[in-house]
Amino acid sequence: MGRFLARRIIICVLTVAGASFVIFASLYLAPGDPISFLTAGRPSSPELRAALAAQYHLDDPFLHRYLQWITDAFQGNFGESIARRRPVLDLIFANLPTTILLVIMTLILVVVVGVLFGGIAAFRRGPIDDGIMAAMTVSLATPAFVSSIFLISVFAVGLGWFPVFGPGTDIGDRIHHLVLPAVALTIAWWPVIGETARASMREEHEREHVETARSRGLTPQHIVRRHVFRNAAIPISTVIGLSFAGLVAGTAIVESAFQLNGLGSLLITSVTGRDFPVAQAVALLLVTVFAVTNVVVDLLYAALDPRVQTSWSRK
Amino acid sequence: MTALNTPIAPARVLRTIRPIPGLDVVGHVAVLLVILFACLAAFGPLIAPHDPNAVNLSLSYGGSDTEHPIGYDQQGRDIFSRLLHGARSSFLGPLIIVAAASTAGMTLAIVGAWRKGWIDATLAGILDSSLAFPGLLLAVMVVAIVGPGIQSTVIALSIAYTPYMARIVRSAAITEISKDYVAAARVQGFSALTICVRHVIPNIMPIVLGQAVLTVAWATVDIAGLSYLGLGIQPPAADWGIMLANGQTGVLQGYPMEAVSAGLCLIIAICSFSLLGERISRRGEAIAA
Amino acid sequence: MSLLSIKDLKVSLPVDKERRVVLRGIDLELEAGESVAIVGESGSGKSMTARAIARLLPRRAVVSGSILFDGRQVLDLKDAALRRFQAAEMAMIFQDPRVHLNPVRTIGDFLVEGLVNTRGSSKKAAEHKVIELLDEVGIPDGTRRLRQYPHELSGGLLQRVMIAAALASEPRLLLADEPSTALDVSTQSDVMAIIDDLCKSRGMALMFITHDLELAAAICDRTAVMYAGQIVEVQGSTDLVEHPRHPYSAGLLGAKPNVSRRVQRLNAIPGRPRAAFEVQNGCAFSDRCRFASEECIASEPTLKHEPGGAVRCFRADDLILNATEGAVL
């Protein structure tokens, strides 16, 4: 167990190191010299050029520059935004709450809707199952930016139940503002959980050990809860973990559609506004989150499946 | 000789079209829609009744009329013509992505599956960790460096989809290569290349094809999304993603036709490609097993 | 009155839009404390019979006939009453314990689950009881085993756990569906001995499903032979092995070619076993039976009761069958 965990953490660190190197080196893949790339044709004072040269350690050898940059990054020093003349870390902190709240709301919605309808489809064969399957297909094929616009059109502009744009002020208002974005992301992601829930619950329900449980006179509710759902929770939580990265990436689109000040929209505006330090920092942050998520998924898997624990401790 | 002289009656052509055995009704609808979208991508711009970029501000958000069935967008351009033109730009990118990712993914996977050992292990490790990295994010990063445009997004997404393709092909190739006939062919002295090209690749082709059709669906979502964000295809090109971005302004002013029509086109296209892809994959797995 | 009385039990299952008959009328009696074996090839319907009694048939199965357990109609039981019957009156042991135990829950969870949820005993009392039961089935360190998971135990140990779980509810009828088939040869006899001992010492009736006639005879008082969804012969186990009345039983006993007598044909049963749904007119075994007459092909024999058993064969009285020396007309 301990050794397996250590191996997973090493892989995680290597992934972050590799990705961070690519993110760092990408600056030098860009055409032209780094300073003109960073300033992107904006009028630049000699002071700004000097500051950029110092920030990126442009006078040092390449590898040394990378080590400097990554050390600074892990101390929270991501440099300064070129477009907004503010420390990148301030921008990230200003944008983080919206994204975190949006991800939490979406995760709750996706899991509840996915497991609920997946479970119903698993046990109600016939028209109900067919209907849910058709809904999943259409829903999965609806990109988040399309559903965002449809939702704005119907619930914000048409019915006026929700605000059209913006993040809101206090916590209640923030949640109110994030309902439609969360629903838009949920439309794209619940079928992923739903299909897994349906398939795994159906598979578990036909397993022999469920027959044993039935032969012992246990109630159907008990069997579904303690045997079918308990066992299906393993593949379901794995898929939740695996879709987490895609879901976080998806926030970039809905945050832009709803003009929310989140991390994703920060990434997009920094890319379109050619604000490279910000884009680098957000990308590094996201990659780290994804790599850590992978470790968490493995741990979750081990916590839910005793067979995995045994095979780990044997290794 | 007679065949050349006989005019081909439409009814005769229709009679040659038969249902595909083993495919359900939904699958047939998906096939027809995929053919329709392919025709639109090929001929859409030719059959479009109006210039998609002819601006007429006096017709801004004009309603539908006989010549303009869906009406006008904010700048008074014909939405229907723009949709027809958009089909080409919406599918061209995904098509290149699929071709590139399939070729690269298949090559990597088959080399790994054939050589086994550390090559395969390294490959599997890289593939697994790259799956944790969403393709959309990679595309955004590439745009950050190279600048917005269809070329950079297509290259980035081709790279991003390669691991997905390679993973599926790898497991199919491992099963196929472990079959007895491959060992028999090796004993007879056939080269690895011959065995792979003549036997292994044709046998796993249905799985590759299924995954390729599915990839068209997801790449269409990604390309449209990037264009919507202003990172992919650039305005004023007629593209469904751009039409959604433009249409969002109309939605806020109570004219949702442009966004709704482009959105529906996207949903129907993605639906048909994913439904067809799923069915081909399932058939391929059944054949391989 | 018998503990279990099955009358004309018929079952059909849906397969690809059509119905397939799997049981074509089973008649069987089982006294309290008695043991009966049901022997047949795979597909003969022996497992289906056990599952019909335990009410474990697929939901879309169509069942007719009657199964009386202690005078109550098992086929009419519903919901809570059905669960009470399953929980208290009967228990079932399956072929492969490795798949019939939930892999992600501990042995302890499995063993106490029935007692806690259907008997309302406390977890502590239930654990105390199952540790004693584990000792009885030959697993001494019960306390430690309760915390283990199924994959940490061998197949033989798991089957003992299954037996202990079956005993926990103190049932009057034990259904054992090939309980030793999936185990290592070395542990098969141990498991069978435990089942045999415990049924006898506790006065439990046993219905033992197997394809092995010799094993059936060693364990059970009576043996019923099934073919194509019907019972073709029932007798006391010793009598059946020594003097089979039905050609199929004789065939199953593995009649071997005898070199001292000039036998032209081997006594191994030719052809493949018939499935119940394939049977048309006539005796289901007629196409494989070398004694088949025109009557056998034209009409179907009934199960004729006779002293000490019953046989379903027109020619039973004409034939003198001998398992080891071949059949003599």
**Which of B221, B278, B279 to probe the A interface (max A CBs under 10 A)?**
B221
Query: Looking at the whole model, is its pTM more than 0.90?
Result: no
Asked if B196 and B114 touch (Cβ cutoff 8 Å), the reply is: yes
The region of weakest confidence among A297-301, A309-313, B177-181, C129-133 is: A309-313
Q: How far apart are CA B164 and CA B186, in angstroms?
A: 29
B3 pLDDT exceeds 50? Answer: no
Structure tokens at B194: 């011959």
Give the H/E segment covering residue C256. Answer: none
C152 neighbourhood in chain A, CB within 8 Å: 310
The single-letter code of the amino acid at A99 is: T
Is the CB of A307 less than 8 angstroms away from the CB of C102? Answer: no
Taking CA atoms, what residue in B is nearest to A239?
A: B132
Give the H/E segment covering residue B57. Answer: none
Domain coordinates in residue numbering, chain B: 23-44+76-288
Asked if A176 and A162 touch (Cβ cutoff 8 Å), the reply is: yes
Structure tokens at A225: 């809860």
A242 neighbourhood in chain B, CB within 8 Å: 131
C264 pLDDT exceeds 60? Answer: no
Is the CB of C83 less than 8 angstroms away from the CB of A304? Answer: no
A212 touches chain C (CB under 8 A): yes
Structure tokens at C33: 């404390």
B146 touches chain A (CB under 8 A): yes
To the nearest whole angstrom, how far is the Cα of C57 from the nearest Cα of chain A?
10
Q: How far apart are CA C91 and CA C175, in angstroms?
A: 6
C25 pLDDT exceeds 80? Answer: yes
pLDDT of residue A40: 66
Is the CB of C99 less than 8 angstroms away from the CB of A208? Answer: yes
**Which of A124, A204, A209, A221 to probe the C interface (max C CBs under 10 A)?**
A209
What confidence category does residue C329 fall into, taking pLDDT thresholds of 50, 70 and 90? Answer: very low
* Cα C72 to Cα A59, A221, C85, C89, C91, distances in angstroms: 93, 26, 10, 11, 17
What average pLDDT is seen over chain B?
82
Closest Cβ–Cβ partner in A245, A268, A294 for B134 = A245
For the stretch A165-172, contacts whose Cβ atoms lie closer than 8 Å and that sit 24 or more positions apart, written own/partner, are A165/A258, A165/A259, A165/A260, A166/A258, A166/A259, A166/A260, A167/A98, A167/A260, A167/A261, A167/A262
pLDDT of residue B2: 45
Asked if C99 and C150 touch (Cβ cutoff 8 Å), the reply is: no
Asked if A20 and A284 touch (Cβ cutoff 8 Å), the reply is: yes
Instruction: Please give the share of chain B, as a percent, with pLDDT higher than 70.
Output: 90
**pLDDT per residue as tens digits for the range B175-234:** 888 888 888 888 888 888 888 888 888 888 888 999 999 999 999 999 999 989 888 888
Helix (H, G, I), strand (E, B) or coil at B144: helix
Is the CB of A138 less than 8 angstroms away from the CB of B134? Answer: no
**Which of C93, C104, C113 to probe the A interface (max A CBs under 10 A)?**
C104
Q: How far apart are CA B159 and CA A72, in angstroms?
A: 30
Looking up residue A251, the CATH number of its domain turns out to be 1.10.3720.10
**Which of A81, A146, A157, A266 to probe the B interface (max B CBs under 10 A)?**
A146
Q: Is A100 a member of any domain?
A: yes
Structure tokens at A303: 């916590």
Q: How far apart are CA B77 and CA B62, in angstroms?
A: 9
Comparing C-alpha atoms, which of B212, B221, B217 is closest to residue B241?
Answer: B221
**C with B: 3 or more CB pairs under 8 Å?**
no
A311 touches chain C (CB under 8 A): no
Q: Is A234 a member of any domain?
A: yes
* Cα C74 to Cα A218, C24, C71, distances in angstroms: 17, 18, 9
Q: In degrees to the nearest 10, what's the CA dihedral of B130, B132, B137, B142?
A: -10
Is the CB of A253 less than 8 angstroms away from the CB of B260? Answer: no
To the nearest whole angstrom, how far is the Cα of A291 from the nearest Cα of chain B?
7
Burial string for C55-75 (b: 16+ CB within 10 Å, else e) reads bbbeeebebebebbbeeeebb
Asked if C205 and C31 touch (Cβ cutoff 8 Å), the reply is: yes
C88 neighbourhood in chain A, CB within 8 Å: 217
B191 touches chain A (CB under 8 A): no
What confidence category does residue B1 fall into, taking pLDDT thresholds of 50, 70 and 90? Answer: very low
Report angle CA C129, C130, C136 to the nearest 5 degrees: 100
pLDDT of residue B25: 84
Helix (H, G, I), strand (E, B) or coil at C302: coil
Highest mean pLDDT among A204-213, B54-63, B119-128, C279-288: A204-213
B67 pLDDT exceeds 80? Answer: no
Report angle CA B240, B244, B250 to the nearest 5 degrees: 135
Measured between alpha carbons, how far apart are the two ends of chain C, in Å? Answer: 39
- The CATH architecture that domain B23-44+76-288 belongs to is Orthogonal Bundle (1.10)
Is the CB of C100 less than 8 angstroms away from the CB of A209? Answer: yes
Q: Is A302 a member of any domain?
A: no
Helix (H, G, I), strand (E, B) or coil at B51: coil
pLDDT of residue B7: 53
Structure tokens at B145: 């460096």
**pLDDT per residue as tens digits for the range C282-318:** 888 888 887 888 888 888 888 888 888 888 888 888 7
User: Cis (ω within 30 of 0) for the bond into B236?
Assistant: yes
Mark which residues 2-61 of C lie under 8 Å from A by CB: 54, 56
**pLDDT per residue as tens digits for the range C107-164:** 999 999 988 888 888 889 899 999 999 998 888 888 899 999 999 998 889 999 999 9
What confidence category does residue C325 fall into, taking pLDDT thresholds of 50, 70 and 90? Answer: very low
**pLDDT per residue as tens digits for the range A101-110:** 999 999 999 9
Between B135-146 and A276-304, two packed helices, what is the crossing angle to 10 degrees? 170
Bridge partners (DSSP) of residue A274 are: none
A-B CB pairs within 8 A amount to: 120
Closest Cβ–Cβ partner in C88, C94, C149 for A212 = C94
A159 lies in which domain range?
A: 88-272
In sequence order, which residues have a C-beta less than 8 Å from that of residue B66 and are 6 or more positions away? none
Q: Is A229 a member of any domain?
A: yes
Judging by beta carbons within 10 Å of its beta carbon (0-12, 13-18, 19+), is residue B155 exposed, middle or buried? Answer: middle
Q: Please name the residue that has the structure tokens 């690269």.
A: B104
To the nearest whole angstrom, how far is the Cα of C92 from the nearest Cα of chain A?
7
Q: Mean pLDDT over residues A201-225, rounded?
A: 91
Bridge partners (DSSP) of residue C57 are: none
When divided into structural domains, chain A yields a total of 1
Q: Is A306 a member of any domain?
A: no
What confidence category does residue B10 fall into, taking pLDDT thresholds of 50, 70 and 90? Answer: low
Q: Is A239 a member of any domain?
A: yes
pLDDT of residue C259: 46
B45 touches chain A (CB under 8 A): no
Q: Mean pLDDT over residues C179-183, rounded?
A: 86
Q: How far apart are CA A294 and CA B132, in angstroms?
A: 7
Mark which residues 228-267 of C lie under 8 Å from A by CB: none
Structure tokens at C316: 């039973």
The neighbour count for residue C323, using CB atoms within 10 Å, is 21
C278 pLDDT exceeds 50? Answer: yes
pLDDT of residue B212: 92
What average pLDDT is seen over chain C?
86
To the nearest whole angstrom, how far is the Cα of C93 from the nearest Cα of chain A?
8
Q: Mean pLDDT over residues C88-111, rounded?
A: 91
Q: How far apart are CA C196 and CA C214, in angstroms?
A: 15
A35 touches chain C (CB under 8 A): no
For the stretch A163-167, contacts whose Cβ atoms lie closer than 8 Å and that sit 24 or more positions apart, written own/partner, are A164/A258, A164/B252, A165/A258, A165/A259, A165/A260, A166/A258, A166/A259, A166/A260, A167/A98, A167/A260, A167/A261, A167/A262
pLDDT of residue A32: 64
C85 touches chain A (CB under 8 A): yes
C100 neighbourhood in chain A, CB within 8 Å: 208-209, 211-212
Q: How far apart are CA B271 and CA B266, in angstroms?
A: 8
* Cα C45 to Cα B37, B68, C19, C72, C86, distances in angstroms: 54, 69, 15, 23, 21
Q: Is A248 a member of any domain?
A: yes
Structure tokens at A302: 């081990």
Q: How far apart are CA A264 and CA A252, in angstroms?
A: 4
To the nearest whole angstrom, how far is the Cα of A216 from the nearest Cα of chain B?
37
Q: Give Cα C193 to chain centroid, integer Å.
A: 16
Q: How far apart are CA C256 and CA C282, in angstroms?
A: 27
Q: Is A267 a member of any domain?
A: yes
pLDDT of residue C256: 39
Question: Do strands C230-236 and C304-306 pair parallel, antiparallel, or not at all (unpaired)?
Answer: unpaired
pLDDT of residue C42: 83
**Which of B26, B267, B274 to probe the A interface (max A CBs under 10 A)?**
B267
Measured between alpha carbons, how far apart are the two ends of chain B, in Å? Answer: 46
Question: If you compute the radius of gyration of chain C from its CA atoms, what whole number of angstroms results?
Answer: 21
